Amino acid sequence: MTINDMAEMPVQLPRAPKNEAEGRGRYFNSGNAFNIKLPPVPPRILRDEPAKAMAKTATGWVLCDLSDELDCPFPATTPLMLARYATVLAGETLDTTLNCTASIWYMIEGSATLTVGNETAELGKGDVFLLPGGVASQINASETAVFWAVGNDPQLAFEKAAPITGSEAATGFVHYPADEIEHQLDVVYQRDANDTTSGHALIFSAAQTEASRNIAPTLTLSLNTLKPHSFQPPHKHNSAALTLAVAGDPAYSMVDDQQCDWSPWATLLTPAAAKHSHHNDGDTRAEFLIVQDGGLYYHARTMGFEFY
Ligand SMILES: [Fe+2]
């Protein structure tokens, strides 16, 4: 049977390849090449994963893995980022060597020593740190510790790539202690926000990526705050966001008109280009830590930030 519509055609194979390299060629057309419909990235607030990690029953990882839903062959929370929780029981060790350019960590509770290559740091509640990918690292807990971390592991898995380490590495190890974060946020709070800024937020960067004002080439990290009974107006951007609910009683986000109620240490998934807003209905300041694949979109000149 002859197919008249080119969109219905199957893959076209080389006629008589002279060697294996020619034989590996495949051909599609402008009708059928763009027919693959990937499942959309769902707006979501993930609560089961933090509950599992906070139960503190064993040392290990709890991945926020939506790869089945995304039809993705590797663990992923969004197509380019993976969020996870890590629990390290007192006296135990977790290997944190990851295949990503960088991962961004927040310590939810506990006390631990972090070793990254030949450097060490003492970690406490509320600390943030940036781990370069591919560098041997581990956490030794003195008091049972729980962490939240986001890396661009899926981005590298998609490309079947590995991070460059050593002097050419994209990021180094950076420690942002909780009391320093609090001080730096206070400095920001002493200034006025204007119409072009969306509330008071502390943006994390590093010596190596200072010129881009990002924390890693493709990732951005922001500690956003909302005063009592206030909200961040609806907006959208082409970067996807993974947000840790740090404080907010009560607080919620609207993502594509779906209400996502925050609960302690939940992870909010805001898909790329989804309309969203964050709301603090409580009498205390709300705080949320946002990792985005924003560096990628700034670099590509395709951030597409718009208020509604
Ligand atoms: Fe946003």
How much distance in Å is there from the Cα of 266 to the middle of ligand 1? 17
Mean pLDDT of the region 199-221: 94
pLDDT exceeding 70 applies to what percent of the chain?
A: 97
- CB under 8 Å to 159, separation ≥6 — which residues? none
Report the side by side order of strands in the sheet with 276-280. 258-261, 251-255, 276-280, 230-236, 306-307
Instruction: Provide the H-helix boundaries in 215-305.
Output: 294-299
pLDDT at 197 over 70: no
Both structure tokens of 294:
């924003």
How much distance in Å is there from the Cα of 305 to the middle of ligand 1? 8
How much distance in Å is there from the Cα of 223 to the middle of ligand 1? 12
The residue extents of the domains of the chain are 44-300
How much distance in Å is there from the Cα of 270 to the middle of ligand 1? 8
How much distance in Å is there from the Cα of 228 to the middle of ligand 1? 19
**Which pLDDT does position 84 carry in this prediction?**
98
pLDDT in tens, 36-85: 899 999 999 999 999 999 999 999 999 999 999 999 999 999 999 999 99
Range of weakest confidence among 26-35, 156-165, 236-245: 26-35
Q: Which fold has domain 44-300?
A: Jelly Rolls (2.60.120)
Mean pLDDT of the region 148-168: 97
